[in-house]
Amino acid sequence: MSEPEAQLVRLMRDSKYTVVLTGAGISTESGLPDFRSPSGLWKQYDPMKVATIWTLRADPELFYDFYKKRLAIMEGARPNQAHFAVADLGKLGMVKAVITQNIDGLHQEAGSSNVIELHGSLREAACIDCRRPHDIGAIKLDQVRRCDCGGLLKPNVVLFGEQLPPDAFELATGEATRCDLMIVVGSSLEVSPANMLPAMVKARGMKLVIVNLGETGFDTRADLVIRKKAGEVLTAAAEALKRGGGRRTQT
């Protein structure tokens, strides 16, 4: 185990309340591209232009076309070792909550229980007017679909131009004000307001660890930055913590 990984294990052993904040980078090892990777889908479509509430209203066919492709990619994806390591750490009581910007549902599939989805879920659809949930199958069809109320159906994810679900963000800020250690995994921390959460943790003088391949705007404020693949780092940490029986008993 490398020294940064050993330092992560020490921070987790010393913590009484650790939360994990994840982004698209934790799911790249499951074959789901993040925004910045040179994958076909994100090259073909600019998410800032297509995955917006304005595109859904103005050009629903283009919007549906993009989400149908995104759903097809997501359908084959399974959790990877990073999701499983986070779930194992949750079962050991060493991760109290997982706050995710992802919409792929892979944390829950890996067995994490306290998952806060900041940007909704691609596993169901909803009406943009009455908000009633609908089967995600509606988005996979060729025609643009409407609810009984006449509203357009969209995947139940937060689109650019939409507010975050207030309850999810409230739960997340609750965790950010309760934790003594936040581990950010696979996020560029460029998307707001999710990136307010690590700022809250540092404002309270608590510890912040960033496990991310690329640089983030929070690297200089973090107590530890590990620029390695999430799967490798989290598996090593979970194995060490399992071997050590979880929480430190002596002080």
**Catalytic residue ranges:** 119
* Interface size with ligand NAD, residues (CB under 6 A): 25
Q: Work out what residue 35 binds among ligand NAD, Zn ion, none; the CB cut-off runs from 5 to 8 Å by kind.
A: ligand NAD
Among 15, 18, 55, 102, binds ligand NAD (CB under 6 A): 102
Shortest distance, position 134 Cβ to Zn ion, whole Å: 8
Instruction: Decide: is 180 part of the binding site for ligand NAD (CB under 6 A).
Output: no
Report the C-alpha gap between 164 and 170 in whole angstroms. 10
**Closest to 53 (Cα-Cα) out of 166, 159, 124, 152:** 159
- SS3 category, 83: helix
- SS3 category, 158: coil
**Closest to 45 (Cα-Cα) out of 23, 69, 21:** 69
Instruction: Decide: is 79 part of the binding site for ligand NAD (CB under 6 A).
Output: no
Q: ∠ at Cα 13 (101, 85), nearest 5°?
A: 45
- SS3 category, 235: helix
Among 1, 130, 141, 203, binds Zn ion (CB under 5 A): 130
- SS3 category, 150: coil
In the block, residue with structure tokens 């829950």: 108
Which one, 25 or 90, has the nearer CB to ligand NAD? 25
Instruction: Decide: is 83 part of the binding site for ligand NAD (CB under 6 A).
Output: no
Which one, 220 or 251, has the nearer CB to ligand NAD? 220
- SS3 category, 212: coil
Among 4, 33, 111, 151, binds Zn ion (CB under 5 A): 151
Among 212, 225, 234, 235, binds ligand NAD (CB under 6 A): 212
Q: Which residues touch 57 (CB under 8 Å, ≥6 apart)?
A: 152
Which one, 6 or 149, has the nearer CB to Zn ion? 149
Instruction: Decide: is 34 part of the binding site for ligand NAD (CB under 6 A).
Output: yes
CB–CB of 70/122 below 8 Å?
A: yes
Shortest distance, position 138 Cβ to Zn ion, whole Å: 12
Among 19, 20, 21, 32, binds ligand NAD (CB under 6 A): 32
Which residues lie near ligand NAD (CB under 6 A)?
A: 23-25, 27-29, 32, 34-36, 101-104, 119, 186-188, 190-191, 212-214, 229-230
